Structure 1
Amino acid sequence: MGKLILTSNKENILHIQINRPEKMNAANRKLLTELSLAYAEANQDDNVRVVVVSAVGNHFTAGLDLGDVLGTAPQSGLDLTPEGGIDPWGITTAPISKPVIVAVQGTCLTLGVELILASEMAVADETTVFGQLEVTRGIMPFGGATTRFAQRVGWAHASRYLLTGETFSAKEAYRIGLINEVVPAGMQVDRAMELARLVSEQAPLAVEATLRNARVARDSFESEAIRQLPRELEMLLKSKDFEEGITSFASREKPEFKKL
């Protein structure tokens, strides 16, 4: 298995690409480890002023590789950030100090939406379909959506998609304020790079200070929810409903949840 995260550095911009297109860029533990280390690389490099995250292929991400990541979670723990890495979602470690712009296309589910919520800007091409599907699999979001989605788009919009598992279009994502722009198919990376260059031309210390101060309110708002998150998720991972969710995902059949 080759690298699941590709990086290139040009004009003070680190471009991180998710590279598992044969699996619709679903994130397994290896991918999450490599992504964490790429974020740490960007954080430590003084020449990097902005990070752009995109994905190879037709889809940004189908979300978690459930069997690989959650199938062993009770044994291996929920902390998927390796030593020396930075959690791209800013849950288990301090967030990256550089601004992040996400460019998405095709399918953008669960942790893909949460990566947008953890970032400063997002551009979607017109083909993108978003979804926060965890409740359809007997689990809950654990990358920040339980607090950040409502902060970004308001509780009325967030609760609909968090609690129903409905998918929604790029046009809807723009309407509710999840993303900054919708662009023609295939143009999302070009536009994200244009925005990144605009940011990189500004005073880097001022950009980082602005970002750091802007996060103070978010961090204080999230602190209690983040402390409760591992306990809530652990309970769900031990439930019969989670087993049913995994089974139905594999069989493509509708799950029958029973609150067990």
Structure 2
Amino acid sequence: MSFALAIAPPTVPPPEGCIDTQVLGHILLIGINRPAKRNGWTPAMFRQLAEAYTRLDDDPELRVGVLHAFGDHFTGGLDLPAVTAYLQRGEKAIPEGLVEPHDFGQPGYRRRTKPMVVAVKGICFTVGIELMLGADIVVAADNCRFSQMEVQRGIMATGGATLRMAERAGAGNALLHLLTADEFDSAEALRLNFVQKVVPAGQELDEALAIARRIAAQAPLAVVATRLNVLKAIEQGPAAAVADFVPVQKQLANSADAAEGVRAFVERRPAQFSGR
């Protein structure tokens, strides 16, 4: 059965677009909804996306998010006429205090703690690449067209591409695509570790939901701790991550979920975790 069959039809978006959300068990499905404009990003959409990411982190019943898009394309990138004034003023479209979807850890913005899986398809330009690189696991349709084309528009990629492309693929590979603004396909994105799986077009959301369901079945506290430890190792180095091993493991080992994990092991049954 297709997981995607359970998804509610999108709302009719306003001209500036919107972000649709739907709860599927412990999963928060987050849909980019401006298909008539190839899901071009507006300030309103950025604000609503941050609100959705904040909802994921704040709701104890939610364990993982899945970001996807309505229509044929993930996104054509920034709607430049709509965002140029913000760029010129150096103004952020996301209010302080919310989870920042690019996951930078900037002062005044929260960092996401729970996992985010992304399903991309069709055109995935500029901010689309940066949102998927700022998430955790990416499933790409085999019809994807990627481009980090800011230099064609006289601006710089400031949604994380300059950081994460080099982190995933090395400086040379990152600069090849950042400085030429060329278009590349799903196979190249997989080679560069920008995406983790490539599936036939039309199957990307099903696969992303399947991954999210497997994550949601694990112990939530352990999932969050594991994710944060990986990020700490990347950003602060192995020693900082290792320093957390004993205190974090002690906390997890004394949780109700750890006790349930032991019971499930002894009783040879799937564990039923509570997130406590």
Q: TM-score range by the shorter chain?
A: 0.7 to 0.9
Displacement over 6 Å in runs of 4+: none
CA spacing shift, 1:90–1:120, aligned 2, 3 Å: same
Render the CA deviation track for 1:146-180: whole Å, top value 9, x for unaligned: 11111012222111001110010011111221101
Structure with the larger RCO, 1 or 2 (CA within 8 Å, 6+ apart): 1
The 3-state SS of whatever aligns with 2:100 is: coil
Whether 1:104 aligns to 2:104 is: no
Whether 2:214 is the aligned partner of 1:201: answer: no
> Is it true that 1:28 corresponds to 2:49 in the alignment?
no
Q: Deviations over 1:50-69 (max 9, x none)?
A: 10000000000011111111
Displacement of 1:219 in angstroms is 3.6
Superposed counterparts of 1:6-17, under 5 Å: 6-17=20-31
Deviations 1:75-126 (A, max 9, x none): 3x33221244211002342321110001000100111101111111000111
Among 114, 119, 122, the alignment partner of 2:130 is: 114
Q: Is the 1:37–1:84 Cα contact (8 Å) retained in structure 2?
A: no
SS at the partner of 1:101?
strand
AA aligned to 1:129 is R
Report what 1:47 is aligned to: 61
Whether 1:140 and 2:156 are equivalent positions in the alignment is yes
1:163 partner SS:
helix
Q: Secondary structure at the match of 1:70?
A: helix
Q: Percent identity?
A: 41
Partner Cα distance (1:180, 1:36) in 2: 24
For residues 88 and 147 of structure 2, the distance between their equivalents in structure 1, rounded to whole angstroms, comes to 25
CA apart distance, 1:185: 1.0
TM-score (norm 2): 0.76
Change in Cα spacing, 1:80 to 1:217, as seen in structure 2 (3 Å) is farther
Deviates more, 1:96-105 or 1:1-10: 1-10
- Counterpart of 1:81? 94
Residue in 1 that maps onto 2:240 = none
SS at match of 2:85: coil
Task: Output the CA distance in 2 between the equivalents of 1:24 and 1:128.
Answer: 13
Whether the 8 Å contact between 2:147 and 2:184 is mirrored in structure 1 is yes
Q: 1:215 aligns with which of 212, 224, 231?
A: 231
* CA distance in structure 1 between the aligned counterparts of 2:56 and 2:97, rounded to whole angstroms: 12
CA RMSD of aligned residues (A): 1.5
The answer for unaligned runs of 5 or more in structure 1 is: 222-260
Equivalent pairs counted in the alignment come to 220
Return the alpha-carbon distance in structure 1 between the equivalents of residues 68 and 191 of structure 2. Answer: 22
Query: What's the counterpart of residue 19 of structure 2?
Result: 5
Shift of 1:220: 4.0
The aligned residue for residue 152 of structure 1 is: 168
Query: Which structure has the larger Rg?
Result: 2
**Conserved? CA contact 2:86–2:92, under 8 Å:** no
Gaps of 5+ in 2: 1-12, 238-276
SS at match of 1:71: helix
Partner of 2:76: 62
Q: Which of residues 159, 164, 185 in structure 1 aligns to 2:180?
A: 164
State how far apart, in whole Å, the 2-side matches of 1:52 and 1:20 are.
Answer: 17
